[in-house]
Amino acid sequence: MTDSKHSDLLAGPRVARWTCPSCGDAVPRLLPNGARNAQSVAELELFLEDADIESEVNREPGTAADEICLACADAVRELVGTLIRPPGEDGDARNSPGLNDTGIVGAALPRGDGTHVLIFHVIDGVLRLTETERLTRFDPMRLTYPGSRGAMAPRIWELYARHLAQLQARYGEEPQNR
């Protein structure tokens, strides 16, 4: 069968689509390399290992998604354990180190109605869930890094340092772009 506009081109195979429960987009079932465009949620690390974070994860409403598209899986993988600025704070995330108001993405939970990003801050010395935001509405300009430990809350720093050490142990080198 030839393409209707060009007699020398063959039409490629049609790839079925499915709706990713995380982003809500109709995505192809197969990637260009022929691999499935779905990642089992069970294979992802959805939250930091911490009793306070696990407690909030267990309270989060919604039915867990079984699979999400590869792009969403990569986003979840990259977001969990990343430092974050408070909402509405002006400035470029690359220009200043974390301060006392720096938080951490403690979990990213794929649900049937989208991925819920759980953001934690230290309030009066206690780690608390302060925000739950949809992945599709998440502002990446809020991401930050510690230029130095500075005045960052010790509990946030400890979670961040532990997460980096786990990544280093898993991949055997210094994590890049973290």
Measure CA 98 to chain center: 19
pLDDT of residue 162: 94
Per-residue pLDDT of the chain (178 residues; tens, 9 = 90+): 544 566 676 666 677 889 999 999 999 999 888 899 999 998 889 999 999 999 999 999 888 899 999 999 999 999 999 999 877 765 444 455 555 678 999 999 999 889 999 999 998 889 999 999 999 999 888 888 776 445 678 899 999 999 999 888 987 765 555 4
Phi/psi for 109 (5° steps) reads -110, 105
Phi/psi for 59 (5° steps) reads -90, -15
For the entire predicted model, the pTM comes to 0.81
pLDDT of residue 93: 47
pLDDT of residue 159: 95
98 closest CA partner among 152, 162, 164, 177: 152
